[in-house]
Amino acid sequence: MDAHVTDPAGNGATLATRLDDVERRVPVPRIADVWLFPPLPDVVDSSEFLLFTAILEGETRALFSARLVPENGSPAHQVIIEHGTAPADRLPRLVSNLQQRLGQPLPARHIPIAGEPDRWRRLVEETREMPGGGRAPDGDH
């Protein structure tokens, strides 16, 4: 799944805009969890990226990543990639291992959605109200 979301001003998409894009592609009742990773400290023009899971049958989840990618001098666009499936109870360890490989000094912020539209709405509203146009906050929530 490849999604394109850009800021018409050319400044890159805010996190809230990116979450809106995720919602257009995956129905909220299927979204189980979201992990927000802060920008990578040693990467120029790095932006936050997020992981999210979609509820499949039983306790199986599909794991997706969403990140901004520059496109030959034009504004960055969001790319969403499905990385496969895993049992729900294995996902926290997968996320922890990813964080270690990336060398992130702070933990990713985990937001349980559990398919509940109210939880999703609160997350999107919170990111719209954040300073800096919705950049990911540091730390676990």
Identify any residues that bridge with 37 across adjacent strands, giving them in sequence order.
49
Provide the b/e sequence for 40-79 (b: ≥16 CB within 10 Å): eeeeeeebbbbbbbbbeeeeebbbbbbbbeeeeeebbbbb
- Span 5-52, pLDDT tens digits: 433 333 457 888 899 999 999 999 999 999 998 876 665 555 678 999
- Span 73-102, pLDDT tens digits: 667 788 899 999 999 999 999 998 888 887
* Residues near 31 by beta carbon (within 8 Å), at least 6 away in sequence: 22, 52, 53, 54, 55, 113, 115, 120
- Side-chain half-sphere exposure of 107, counting CA atoms within 13 A: 11
DSSP for the chain? -------TTSS---HHHHHHHHHHHS-GGGEEEEEEEPPPTTSTT---EEEEEEE-STTEEEEEEEEEEEETTEEEEEEEEEEEEEEGGGHHHHHHHHHHHHT-SSPPEEEE-TT-HHHHHHHHHHHHHSHHHHPPPSS--
pLDDT given for residue 47 in this prediction: 65
Reply yes or no on whether the pLDDT at 1 is more than 50.
no
